[in-house]
Every structure is written in structure tokens, then in C-alpha cells.
Amino acid sequence: MTDRLKERLADGRVARDTRLLGDFARIYCSGKHPDREKRPLSSTGVELGVYGKAPVVCDECAALLVYAEKRRALCPQDKPGSAKPFCSHCETHCYKPDMRELMRDVMRYAGPRSLLHGHAIDGLRHAIEGRKHAAELRRREAQARG
């Protein structure tokens, strides 16, 4: 565990996003992988207590979470003074293709269902951010057309 990773995971916003990823992966894994063997996640974030209780997931979802935990903590888009975009709206997506694909599936499946799991605020933030992102893209396209 690097000091940098530890330090970033201790940041409130990083911890909040990481905990949300854990909840999404848990919802996804229990819905999509009901027959797989599951165990409590083992990761730096778990060691530091960012999830509260360690998410119980299959090996594939655990690998995604360990990977996403590190990406989020060391995100190059997370700069002081500017809000980090949601990964799904990020222009410099730092995920490798297979992890990106799996995370897309997780978000698509767990996003709407998370509203039933007490994540209404995060769901709304995501919707608002998505609308802003679409408006920004339209603005750039209009600008490019002159």
C-alpha cells in the first residue's frame, strides 16, 4: 500500500465515491452473479474502513473494485478547485478497456436500483452532472460548426 494511495483514500470525497462504488458493485453482484461464490472484499479501502462493512462480492467484482478504488484515489482529473467529472463523463478515461466495459455494466445495472438502496442524492447528482455534460457537448459542437 503506497502512502499516496492511503492519503488519497483518507480524503472525504474520495472515500464517499469509493463507498458508493462498493455499494454499486454489491447491488450488481447480487443481481447479476447470484450463483457465484462471494467473500468480503480485501483491499486498501477496506483496511482503511472507507466502505464501512466490506462489500461481499465475487472474484470478478472484487477485481473491479480493487482496480476502481485505485483509479478513483489517484484520479488525474481530481484537481483542487474544480469538481471531478463522473467517470462515465470523463474525457480522459483512465480505465483499461475490459474494466471500463464492466464498470459501465455495473453503473447501468446498479445506478437505477441504487435509488431503492438509499442513494437518491447520488442518483440526482449523477443525473444533473449528465445533463450539464450533454449541454457542454452541444455547446462545443455548435462552436465547432461556427
* Site of interaction with ligand SF4 (CB under 6 A): 71-72, 75-77, 84-85, 87, 90, 92-95
Name which of residues 82 to 141 contact Zn ion (CB under 5 A). none
Distance between CA atoms of residues 60 and 43, nearest Å:
14
In the three-class reduction of DSSP (H, G, I as helix; E, B as strand; rest coil), residue 56 is classed as strand
Beta bridge partners, 56, equal 40
Q: Which is nearer to ligand SF4, 32 or 93 (CB)?
A: 93
Q: Which is nearer to ligand SF4, 48 or 90 (CB)?
A: 90
Q: Which is nearer to Zn ion, 61 or 75 (CB)?
A: 61
Q: Which is nearer to ligand SF4, 96 or 140 (CB)?
A: 96
DSSP category for residue 86: P
58 binds Zn ion (CB under 5 A): yes
DSSP category for residue 97: H
Q: Are 27 and 109 in contact (CB under 8 A)?
A: yes
Q: Are 58 and 30 in contact (CB under 8 A)?
A: no
Task: Name which position in 46, 61, 64, 68 contacts Zn ion (CB under 5 A).
Answer: 61
Residue 72, contacted partner among ligand SF4, Zn ion, none, CB below 5-8 A by kind = ligand SF4
